[in-house]
Amino acid sequence: MQKIGVFVCWCGSNIAQTVDVQAVSDALAKEPGVVYSTNYQYMCSEAGQNLIKDAVKEYGLTGVVICSCSPRMHEATFRKAVASVGLNPYMLEVANIREQCSWIHKDKEVGTEKAIILGRAAIAKVQLNAPLQAGESPVVKRALVIGGGIAGIQTALDIAEAGFEVDIVEKNPTIGGKMTQIDKTFPTLDCAACILTPKMVDCAQNEKIHIYSYSELKEVKGFVGNFSVKINKKARYVDENKCTGCGECTTKCPMKNVPNEFNLGMDNRRAIYIPFAQAVPKVATIDPNYCNMLKNGKCGLCAKVCGAGAIDYKQQDQVIEEKYGAIVVATGYNPIKLDKFDEFGYSLSKDVITSLEFERLTNAAGPTSGTLLRPSDGKHPHTIVFVQCVGSRDTSGCGKPYCSKICCMYTAKHAMLTREKYPDTDVYVFYIDVRSPGKNYDEFYRRAVEQYGVHYIKGMVGKVAPRADGKIMVQASDLLANEQLHIEADLVVLAAAIEPDKSARPLATMLTASMDTNDFFTEAHAKLRPVESPTAGIFLSGACQGPKDIPDTVSQASAAAAKVIGLLVKDKLTTNPCVAQSNELMCNGCSSCEKVCPYGAITYIDKEFRMPDRTTRIRRVASVNPAVCQGCGACTVACPSGAMDLKGFSNSQIMAEVDAICQMK
């Protein structure tokens, strides 16, 4: 019988509010084997950990049960604490009475009763725990960054700086991401391209960094320190090594009417294209949806004009397999589609545009070469209405419930820049709140209002209606003046909410990484581990984790890089000791377990056994390689004799938990 200590955490009021922690520790004190039971405000705090350590020493505890938050959160913390006072860390179990109890139950009586049962189950399990020793596994000293926007670029550069190999996988033909489409950046108003493109070039030139552009992840296997990844390098029909990026082909291609995604469809590109002048890699790509040669074998003009002979219409998708020690997710964001927002008339008029489109309209490399002109008639707009929170902070279900964070600032930037360049323009900004926390942000916003005379109006736009004469009627309410406004605008700019890139969800699935209901990746801890996913070895960089502006993104990108470097500098990781083990005396040698093992961890040996009647017998028995076994347990069920069991999750432990949970009352 173990000597068990039970420690019930209040988690401030997170647990204590719906679970009577005193009642839980009192009830669990009565369980067989429990010699000490207490509760404390924050078990994970130093004082809390000391409480546990002291009790282990004072009562000679052989087993510890912590009733607290999810073991995915603090199991490692507590295991480390008990190990520091000499108790085997695997003699500790966590009963999850927060995520799976206090947070989902409102009734204190119900919560308390359930917490006691969960505690009992953990006690029942600990009774059967055995000390386990962790093994070691090597770390592949190479990182993978998924996404080549500013987040991915920064992370990759920082990791490479520390001397580790990094691969960037970018689904578009060039790295750079959303930042390449932005004209100027707040609050300094320096040109986005000027600060981004050198970094892109750095990436291309850094010998530690390899860029897989126009590529996507196909499969991820393995675990922290040893991921095995298949990357699908899409056929771009241009040999990257031969193409010099001269751009000759992109001027000769006869397919001229392909919407140019770089300018958000506001102008056209050819079927063979380089997204923009500073693209990295600066290599042409053929769009197979528009290329005549690829569609019906007629044309071949680009091949003729290519001096380097880089065009290869027969190119196939190529699957590259590579091993990585760590994976960084930097998949970024996109503005939401606005087709559900009829009231803003986005689909009714070309002159109702999104903020990102506005960026392109003011950018020198944009469709208007940087002159602000109405998309419909190319005329200079004199009245511009900016609408904030389009789809953000929206609980109607059409948009997103969260604040997109960046819109207030970029709208201030747009308004300010417009007024500066075109002082004859009337600029209105409709807002719910103006949120400008951040260094020099509020000053920036105030400048827009005070120096540049932008009309900031608190209130929401009710209707945007294009008129036959080209004017756009904006109906809105001014909440402060308490009046209805009717503005005849020439251009309406919508600050569309941002959402995670569509590729994020399937990627999360591949990585077995958590996501929240909005498809943002979940961090391991919102405050303490903001750049790590709960899945070991997966790190988060940039807007894939939540809306972020460039400074935040870059900070997080560097933080993620630091975490990756911390992992890659290790030669070995201690491995999970919860691995399968075969009881040779009961093993039939039937090979069922071997067949279901995904790691090839099971082999067979012929071994001599002394039988009860003093004869010897050579029997074929299974042998598990603990360094290779990952502890899934598939073999344990395949084994008919029950010879195969899993340490840490043994048959008897799981059945003890079942018993404790089902105990009739």
Partner 1 sequence: MQGMMLNRAKELLSDGTVNRVLGWQAGEFVYDITPAVFETEEELDAGFVYNGFCGNNLSKYLVKETLKDGKILVFLKPCDTYSFNQLLTEHRIDREKICAIGIPCDGKTSGEMLKAKGISGITGISEDADNFVVDTIYGQTTVAKADALEERCKTCKSKKHVAYDELLGEDGEILDSHRFDMVAKLEAMTPDERFAFWREQLSKCIRCNACRNVCPACTCEQCVFDNPKSGIAQKAAADSFEENMFHIIRAFHVAGRCTDCGECSRVCPQNIPLHLLNRKFIKDINELYGDYQAGAEVGTRAPLTNYTQEDVEPSIVYHREGK
Partner 2 sequence: MLKISLANLDALFAAIAEKEALYIPTDKAGQAQYMRYENGMKMTDALNTVRSAKDFFFPQTENLVNFKVSGKTIEIIDPRTEHEDFVVFGVRACDVRSFSILDKVFLLSDPVDTYYENRRKHGTIVSMACTRPSETCFCGSFGIDAANPEGDAVCWKTEDSLYIQAVTEKGEALIEKIRPVLEETDDSAVEAQKAATREIMGKLPLAKFSTEKFGGEVLMKVFDSEKWASLSEACLGCGTCTFVCPTCQCYDIRDYDTGHGIQRFRCWDSCMYSDFTLMAHGNSRLTQKERFRQRFMHKLVYFPANNNGEYGCVGCGRCLSKCPISMNIVKVAKSLEGDL
Partner 3 sequence: MPNEVKAFKPKIVAFCCNWCSYAGADLAGTNRLAYPADVKIIRVPCSCRVNPMFILRAFQRGADGVILCGCHPGDCHYTTGNYYARRRMTLLFSMLDFLGIEKERTRVEWVSAAEGAKFAATMNDFVATVTALGENKRLEDLRCKE
Question: Could you say which of 315, 522, 588, 625 contacts partner 3 (CB under 8 A)?
Answer: 522
Q: How many whole angstroms separate alpha carbon 12 and alpha carbon 8? A: 12
CB-CB contact of 227 with 221 (8 Å): yes
Question: Could you say which of 515, 550, 561, 567 contacts partner 3 (CB under 8 A)?
Answer: 515
Question: Could you say which of 117, 168, 372, 560 contacts partner 3 (CB under 8 A)?
Answer: 117
32 binds, among partner 2, partner 3, partner 1, none (CB under 5 to 8 A by kind): partner 2
301 binds, among partner 1, partner 2, partner 3, none (CB under 5 to 8 A by kind): none
172 binds, among partner 2, partner 3, partner 1, none (CB under 5 to 8 A by kind): none
Q: How far is the CB of 542 from partner 1 (least distance, A)?
A: 33
Q: Which of 4, 31, 144, 184 is nearest to 567 (CA)?
A: 144
CB-CB contact of 603 with 572 (8 Å): no
Nearer of residues 123 and 330 to partner 2, judged by Cβ: 123
Torsion angle in degrees (nearest 10) through CA of 285, 288, 292, 295: 150
Q: How many whole angstroms separate alpha carbon 169 and alpha carbon 40? A: 47
662 is a site residue for partner 2 (CB under 8 A): yes
| Beta-carbon contacts of residue 37 (< 8 Å; ≥ 6 apart) | 5, 6, 7, 8, 25, 26, 28, 29
99 binds, among partner 1, partner 3, partner 2, none (CB under 5 to 8 A by kind): partner 3
Stretch that binds partner 2, among 27-35, 60-68, 422-430, 620-628 (CB under 8 A): 27-35
| 613-652: contacts with partner 1 (CB under 8 A) | 617, 620, 638, 640-643, 651-652
Distances (CA, A) of 550 to 81, 111, 137, 540, 628: 38, 43, 37, 15, 42
Burial of 448 (0-12, 13-18, 19+ CB in 10 A): buried
663 is a site residue for partner 2 (CB under 8 A): yes
Token pair in block for residue 547: 């809306």
401 preceded by cis ω (within 30°)? no
Question: Could you say which of 32, 163, 566, 642 contacts partner 2 (CB under 8 A)?
Answer: 32
SS3 492: strand
| Beta-carbon contacts of residue 247 (< 8 Å; ≥ 6 apart) | 274, 284
Nearer of residues 85 and 638 to partner 3, judged by Cβ: 638
CB-CB contact of 290 with 297 (8 Å): no
| 589-618: contacts with partner 1 (CB under 8 A) | 589-592, 595-596, 604, 617
| 611-630: contacts with partner 2 (CB under 8 A) | 612-613
Question: Could you say which of 86, 378, 616, 664 contacts partner 2 (CB under 8 A)?
Answer: 664
Q: What is the CA radius of gyration of the chain?
A: 31
30 is a site residue for partner 3 (CB under 8 A): no
Distances (CA, A) of 293 to 248, 298, 302: 17, 5, 10
Nearer of residues 242 and 505 to partner 3, judged by Cβ: 505
Give the x/- contact pattern for partner 2 in 349-388, rule: CB under 8 A. ----------------------------------------
31 is a site residue for partner 2 (CB under 8 A): yes
592 binds, among partner 2, partner 3, partner 1, none (CB under 5 to 8 A by kind): partner 1
The pairing of beta strand 491-496 with beta strand 352-354: parallel
Binding site for partner 1 (CB under 8 A): 585-592, 595-596, 604, 617, 620, 638, 640-643, 651-652, 655
Binding site for partner 2 (CB under 8 A): 30-32, 612-613, 659, 662-665
